[in-house]
Structures are given as structure tokens and as C-alpha cells.
Amino acid sequence: MRFQTSKIQHGFRSAVAAASLMLAGAMSLGSLPNTAHAAGGMVADPAGVAPDRYVYYPGTEALAKDEVRVIACGTGMPDARRAQASACFLFEFGNGEKMIFDLGTGSMRNINALMIPAEYLTKIFISHLHTDHWGDLASLWAGGWTSGRPVPLKVWGPSGMTPDMGTKYAVEHFLKAYNWDYQTRAFKISPVPGSIEVEEFDYKAVNKIIYDTNGIRIRSIPAIHAGDGPVSFIIEYAGLKLVFGGDTSPNKWFVEHAKNSDFVVHEAFGTPEFFVKDYNQPPQLAWRACCEFHTSGPAFGKIMSEIKPRHAVAYHSMEEAIPGVRAGIRETYEGPLSMAVDNMVWNITKDQVVERMTVSPDRASGVPGPTRQPPPERGRPSPMSNFIKGGEWGPAFNAQSEMLDEHAKKYSLQDQDWRKQKPWYQSQ
């Protein structure tokens, strides 16, 4: 349940965010304005409860039909860090649909912490093919497969200047690279959840519909970043217009088509000096990286002042760069703003945009959905030879007998006892 007082007003969102970050165990962002409001609100007596903890506990709140929840599952840079994953935003819609927009390296740890059954995490939209935007496809693909996903994944992504620069090529070759993983899991579990369907669309398409199902309509616009191919997505649902921008430098398509949105996610990079001092980039690279093939704070602010969203979200900065990015944004934009960190969450309706922090466990486990995985495919050739099988050392296998007999009895698996075909098998 969500408390009535959870309407975080724009004016003190930053201070509340800073406090909540400490609650969530993350670092303080420093240099944020102090206000009288603290996360939790007033606690009226020593036995009282805080009216609003400014936190979201996954799996405890149903969405209203016309509501969207967006969770930042990765907001950082390409180089892996324990505290911050690369680009990933999970969109959850009031009609039950869930879609992942970018799936950067490290982000599956945050997605899995939400403890959503794997069968609901099958739709992935990729803005471009840098690893910090799709590097964790492997984790979702294999991890979901082993934790019960009964169906294939589906990926939407842009074409490229040539076929070998497009999403279809990337995913086909991803599956080739992971062929050993595929073949072994396909034999032991089921091949079905291991396939990936690709829906590749023209990266040059301007505001063309690439998805239109079940009340959700998604359009693509070109982005300008490193080479031809990158795009941003415009998502319409229940009268809301939401925008997910992948990597891009300031571009005319974004300014034109993201106008008057309810919720806009766009990258905002640290200053050139930050990339020299804190990111080990040579100065000649630092001022191009931040500001030629990405968008800096002042440029982000200029864009938002032009498109005037109900709420703007900046991401793609290391946490310690955020004060500098924010200062840059505030030179050119005064409107509603979140500086995204991993696990920040927004509930979006026509009436309000509420920002909070997700509180989720470090040691999440797989959660069952209603659908069971299909059984292994009959007649599929084994990826293991008799030479290797012949190396099984019976005494250790037989040492498990008591535990496995109990399991067989508990789940009525006696007629599927795999031990009976083994040369070392000794019945108790």
C-alpha cells in the first residue's frame, strides 16, 4: 500500500532523495539543498510510524490501470562498478505489461532484486548496441532460463548502416557465441526459453510505430551517437507520453518528438574536467566524450527547457559526478528533475509523478509465476559423450542417495529416476 502523503513535491525532491540514498545504503550526493522536509515525514510520538518512508518495496504495490512505474536498474557508465550498473530502465504498466529499456552490464542484479517471475521479463527494447546498453542480455537470457522462464525472449532494436551493424545480426551472433551454453541448457532444461526473437526496425524511422499491442504504443526516433543506429523510444500508454532516450548528443528529433511529455529519461554526462580527474580520460577525449557524442548538463537543461516535460530524469553519470551534472543542468533548466541513481523509482499518473527509492534484497531468489517450463525435448542428441559420462565416480553419486530418495518421494518422481540408467547405481 502507498501512503497518501507520498506525493513528493518537486521543491524538496532533491533533499528527500539524498536522505533516501542514505537509507538505501548508497552514498550521499553532497551539495544538495537542505530543507525542513525529511524522508519519512514527522513521527508524532515515540511509538509512532513515519507516514512516508520514501521507499518502494517491490512486489507490495499494485499499479492502477492508468499508472506506470519506472525503475532505474542501471544509471552508470560502461566500466563495471559494484555500486552502479550500466543503463537499464524497467517500465511496468498498469495493464500488467513489463518492458526493459536497455539492459546494460550489471543491471540484471538490480532487476533480479525486484523478484519478478522470469516469465514476465521477456520484452527488451535496445536503444543501441554498446555493451553498457545490452551487455546483461546474457544474464537475463541464461539466468531466467535456469530460474523458470517458460518462453523465449523478444528483443526490439534498431537496424544499422549495414546488416552487420544491426540488432538482428548482434542477437544472432550472440546466440552463436553462446552456443555451448545454449546446447547444454537446451538438452538439460528445454530449448524453448533459450530462443530470442528479434524485431529489427529502421533506425532512420522518425516517430514511426514499432510496437502497438494491448494499449501500449512505442515509437522510435533516431539518435546521434558514435555511429548510425542508435535510437530513442517514445512510449504512449493510458494518455501518458513517456520517453526513454538512449545515448545521444543533442538532436532535433528528440526536441521535436519528446515535446510535452509526461516523463522523459535522457542521458546527462559529467563535465570534461570530471572525466579527466575521476575517469582517467585524456583531455582530448574527455571534452568529446561528454559533449560531442553524449549530452552534458547544460545541454540536457537546454533540451528540457525546450520540450518542457512534466518530469525530467537525467542518467548515465557516476554518482560522484552528479553534483556537477546537476549544477550544469540548473544553468539552463528550472523544471522538475530527478538525478537518477540505481534503484530510483517513479510512479507516473496524469495527476502526479512520485519519485522514491527501491529497497530490495541483496540476495534475491527466483520467484515462481503461474506457468511451468516445458519438459526437455525428446530425441535431442546429448552434448555429452560416453567418454565423459564414463568418468562419473559412483561412490560420491551414491552418497547422495538418501537425499535424492526423499526428493523423489516428496515430488512423486520415482518413474523419472535418472539414476537407474547409471552403471554405478545402487538401490538402497
Stretch that binds Zn ion, among 24-32, 49-57, 242-250, 346-354 (CB under 5 A): 242-250
Residue with smaller CB distance to Zn ion, 69 or 130: 130
Q: How far is the CB of 363 from Zn ion (least distance, A)?
A: 28
Q: Decide: helix, strand or coil at residue 328.
A: helix
- Any contact of residue 247 with Zn ion (CB under 5 A)? yes
Query: Using an 8 Å Cβ cutoff, are 241 and 247 in contact?
Result: no
Site for Zn ion in 118-157 (CB under 5 A): 130, 132
Binding to Zn ion by CB under 5 A, coded x per residue (else -) over 34-63, reads ------------------------------
Q: How far is the CB of 248 from Zn ion (least distance, A)?
A: 9
Q: How far is the CB of 159 from Zn ion (least distance, A)?
A: 17
Strands (E), 22-76: 55-56, 68-74
Q: How far is the CB of 215 from Zn ion (least distance, A)?
A: 30
Residue with smaller CB distance to Zn ion, 41 or 78: 78
Query: Using an 8 Å Cβ cutoff, are 349 and 324 in contact?
Result: no
Residue with smaller CB distance to Zn ion, 132 or 262: 132
Nearest-angstrom CA–CA distance, 221 and 204? 7
In eight-state DSSP terms, residue 383 is: S
Residue with smaller CB distance to Zn ion, 216 or 344: 344
Residue with smaller CB distance to Zn ion, 67 or 247: 247
Q: How far is the CB of 80 from Zn ion (least distance, A)?
A: 13
Count of residues interacting with Zn ion (CB under 5 A)? 3
Helix (H) or strand (E) holding 337, with range, is strand 337-339
Nearest-angstrom CA–CA distance, 313 and 307? 13
Q: How far is the CB of 87 from Zn ion (least distance, A)?
A: 5
Nearest-angstrom CA–CA distance, 263 and 244? 9
Q: What contacts 272, CB < 8 A, 6 or more positions away? A: 283, 286, 287, 290, 291
Q: Smallest Cα–Cα separation from 254: which of 230, 283, 284?
A: 230
Residue numbers at the binding site for Zn ion (CB under 5 A): 130, 132, 247
